[in-house]
Each structure stands twice: as C-alpha cells, then as structure tokens.
Amino acid sequence: MKIFEAMAKEGHEQLFFNHDRTTGLKAIVAIHDTSLGPAQGGCRMWNYASEDDALLDALRLSKGMTDKCAAAELDYGGGKSVIWGDPKTDKSEALMRSFARYIEVLKGRYKTGTDVGTTYDDFIIALKETKHVGALPQEYGGGGNSGIITAYGIWHAIKAVAKELYGTDSLKNLTIAVQGLGKVGYHLVGHLMSEEAKVVACDINQENVDRAVEEYGISIVAPEEILSYPCDILSPNAMGAVLNDETLPKLQCKGIAGAANNQLAEPRHGEELANMGILYAPDFVANAGGLIQVCDELEGYNKERAFRKTAMIYQRLLDIFEIAKKHNITPDVAANKIVQDRLETIARVRRNYIGQ
C-alpha cells in the first residue's frame, strides 16, 4: 500500500506503527481528524491476513469514528487502533501493557477502549500503564457493557426507519431480520420483542444463538440466509462491508439499520440501495450509542445523560432522511454533509486564540 496516498485520500493526520520485541506486539494507531478534539476509537485485535489488511482496517475505522463523533455532536475526533494477532492465542497481560504504554506516549491525543477481539479485562490491565482508556466496567468508573447502550441506539434507529417508511414508529408485527446476536444484537432483540416485532436472526456462534432462543424464542436462520430473508427492516450487527455487489441483489428488505461499522463496501452502494427503494440509516449515526457512553465516561459517567443523548439518534436520523429528500440525495450523503459542515464550522470557531 502507498501509505501517504492512502492517508491523503481520506484526510488522515497520523499513523503510528508500534512493535514490542518482548511480547511480539504489532499494533497500528490511526488518527484521522482532530478538528473537534482528541481522537477517540476502540482497539480491535484481529488475525489479519496481511499487513495491508490491518492498515486498511485502521484507516477505514478511524475515518468512521470521525464521522460518528461529528454526527453525534461530540467534541472528539476519530481514531482507531488495531493489534495484529489472534485474540484467543496471542493476547497476554504483557502484550496489553505494552500496547498501553504506546498509547500513553500520545499523551491523550488518542483515547481507546474495547472493540472486536478486546474486552473490559484487557483495558483494566491497560489502566496500569495509561489513563487514556475508556469503555470500562462500572466498578472502575465506566459505564459497563457498551453493547447495551449501542443496542438501545439501534432500536431507536430502527424506529426512525419505520417512521419514515410507514408513518409510525411502532414495530408491532414488523419483521426485523437481525444479523448477529453478540453483545449488541442480543440486547437489540430484547427491545424488538418488547414491541411485539417478528424477529428472525442468525449468528455464526452457536452459543449466541442458543442464548437468544432460550431467552426470547425467536426464529433462527442460517447466516447465509439472513440477508435474503423477506423482512421490513434488516439490522446488520456483525462485521462491515456487508452491503456490496454480491449481497445487494439478494436483499428483500425495505429498510436497513444496524450496529455494524462501514456497512457500505463502497460509497456507490448507498446510491444503489436508494435506487432499489431501500431506506438506509447511515451506520455511523445509528450505532453511536457505545461511543456516546465512552465519551460520557471522560466527563464523569452519568447513565441518564448518556442514554438521553443516545435516544437523540431517532430524531437525528429523521432529520437526515428529510435533508436527503429535500436535496434529492441519499441518506449517507446527507449524513456526510452534516459531518463535514460541523468539522469545518467548529474548526473556524476555534481559530481564534483565547489565551492559556
């Protein structure tokens, strides 16, 4: 990969490559944009196929965090870190402490927490070496499981999509297809069932499936069938790039709202969804609940405040849908316009020196 060209393409500010010979740590920290404040974004640990794959993931995810922070009106920028390795076999106390020391070197320019392949326990260890971590358990001053508040936000996003599609945000008797029953999807199903929605779901992890079936009695289909399942609203809550050239022709939904990051494999897929008559809730708006909680932790966590901010996802999406209709653009383009406008406006507001 031509790194500087890749950075220039999306406007990244910095990339940090970190290696520790004692633990074998191989980590990348990508800082995309700090116009609004320090970069915020979780640490993903994944056994990438190549160095380029790890770098591309860091670049894409950090850009997504900038969008998410700006769209949620948070005074933080976008960043992301990835550790290249198998979280089941390569993770250790020493590796997480080594990683945390590299985070400490950045002196608060980047703050991190859990993501795919990392857990609360990992960042309790990281606290021994840096204070610039969030997404902590309640007993450590954090908000606890971020999947709960993320699911709460996705529930509101689905209600906004229903409101736009059907004129009411009631989910009663609507068929919702949930892809992924992990820490977000499982809690999302609870909200959907409370509204008497018809839920069909899948997960590649049988334990997740068994737990959801036992708790909620939902219908289950094979993972390869969920995207083509006839439904009102599809909710992708697994890995990204799920909306692509191969999957779009299979879709049989009227709307999409889920927690997965970077659901559109390419920007053009947002236009293709619109041409198919499918209403798409931009993922970086819909899935901001976890980020809102982590940012609230940095101010001294207040649960009511965090959930109130997350509930605003509903109106934020309705506003985006209205802008999209008014200007004859897609919702993802409308959301990105809001992001760019806020980045530019706040940067101009902060151009004046106000003293120390």
- Check which CATH number belongs to the domain holding 106 and give it: 3.40.50.10860
Q: Are residues 217 and 168 in the same domain?
A: yes
DSSP-derived 3-state class of residue 60: helix
* Domain's final residue, options 90, 114, 134: 134
Q: Are residues 12 and 120 in the same domain?
A: yes
Q: What is the pLDDT of residue 300?
A: 87
The H or E element that residue 178 is part of is strand 175-179
pLDDT for 352 beyond 90: no
Write down the catalytic residue from 80, 91, 111, 183: 80
Decide if 349 is inside a domain: no
Q: How far apart are CA 249 and CA 2, in angstroms?
A: 33
Q: Are residues 117 and 220 in the same domain?
A: no
Q: Are residues 196 and 47 in the same domain?
A: no
Rg of the chain over Cα atoms, rounded to whole angstroms, equals 20
Q: Are residues 150 and 129 in the same domain?
A: no
Q: Are residues 311 and 335 in the same domain?
A: yes
Decide if 140 is inside a domain: no
Q: Is the pTM of this model over 0.85?
A: yes
- Evaluate whether 102 touches 28 at the Cβ level (below 8 Å): no
pLDDT band at 305 (very low <50, low <70, confident <90, very high): very high
Q: Are residues 277 and 312 in the same domain?
A: yes
Q: What is the pLDDT of residue 299?
A: 82
Decide if 110 is inside a domain: yes
Range of the domain at 90: 3-64+77-134
* Domain's final residue, options 86, 109, 134: 134
Q: How does the average pLDDT of the chain come out, rounded?
A: 95
Q: What is the pLDDT of residue 355?
A: 73
Q: Let me know if 131 is a catalytic residue.
A: no
pLDDT in tens, 229-285: 999 999 999 988 899 999 999 999 999 999 998 899 999 999 999 999 999 999 999
pLDDT in tens, 168-214: 999 999 999 999 999 899 999 999 999 999 999 999 999 999 999 99
Q: How far apart are CA 3 and CA 80, in angstroms?
A: 16
Q: What angle do CA 268, 273, 223 make, to 5 degrees?
A: 105
Q: Are residues 230 and 269 in the same domain?
A: yes
Decide if 170 is inside a domain: yes
Decide if 285 is inside a domain: yes
Q: Are residues 172 and 126 in the same domain?
A: no
Decide if 69 is inside a domain: no
Q: What is the pLDDT of residue 347?
A: 87
pLDDT band at 115 (very low <50, low <70, confident <90, very high): confident
Mean pLDDT of 51-72: 94
Contacts 24+ apart (CB under 8 A), 329-332: 330/270, 330/271, 330/273, 330/274, 330/280, 331/270, 331/274, 331/279, 331/280, 331/281, 331/282, 332/264, 332/267, 332/270, 332/280, 332/282
CATH code, 295: 3.40.50.720
Q: Are residues 124 and 177 in the same domain?
A: no
Decide if 353 is inside a domain: no
pLDDT for 354 beyond 80: no
Among the ranges given (46-55, 70-79, 342-351), the one the predictor scored with the smallest mean pLDDT: 342-351
Q: How many domains does the chain fold into?
A: 2
Q: Are residues 288 and 312 in the same domain?
A: yes
Decide if 202 is inside a domain: yes
pLDDT for 356 beyond 70: no
Bridge partners (DSSP) of residue 233 are 176, 255
Q: Are residues 260 and 298 in the same domain?
A: yes
